[in-house]
């Protein structure tokens, strides 16, 4: 008997890949900047992800060079490794 539901984005790898997709679908505002709330909102409310899953996925995406996050956490940039990930 299962007591907990399966979470689609509990795996940071899967969630990070989804964040890269979300980032690629958002129009950058300047110099490739994507305001983090644009992808955060979609991840949490449209996809039903949790805040902890979002945090883990951002960390995973940054560690793998898919996204770059500004020091203040205001925006991210899609890196070439992230663009290559989408091409697969």
**Domain-wise residue ranges, the chain:** 12-87
Instruction: Please state which CATH number belongs to domain 12-87.
Output: 1.10.10.10
Write down the pTM of the prediction: 0.86
Q: Terminus-to-terminus CA distance in the chain, angstroms? A: 37
Per-residue pLDDT of the chain (88 residues; tens, 9 = 90+): 565 567 778 889 999 999 999 999 999 998 889 999 999 999 999 999 999 999 999 999 999 999 999 999 999 999 888 888 777 6
Confidence at residue 88, expressed as pLDDT on a 0 to 100 scale: 65
Quick one: which of 43, 42, 41, 32 has its CA closest to 76?
32
Confidence at residue 81, expressed as pLDDT on a 0 to 100 scale: 83
Q: Which residues pair with 78 in a beta bridge?
A: 67
């Amino acid at each position: 008997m299962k007591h907990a539901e399966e979470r689609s984005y509990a795996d940071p790898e899967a969630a990070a890949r989804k964040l890269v997709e979300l980032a690629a679908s958002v129009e950058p505002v300047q110099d490739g900047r994507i305001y983090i709330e644009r992808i955060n909102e979609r991840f949490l409310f449209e996809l039903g992800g949790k805040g902890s899953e979002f945090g883990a996925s951002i960390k995973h995406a940054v560690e793998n060079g898919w996204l770059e996050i500004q020091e203040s956490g205001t925006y991210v940039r899609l890196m070439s490794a992230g663009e290559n990930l989408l091409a697969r």
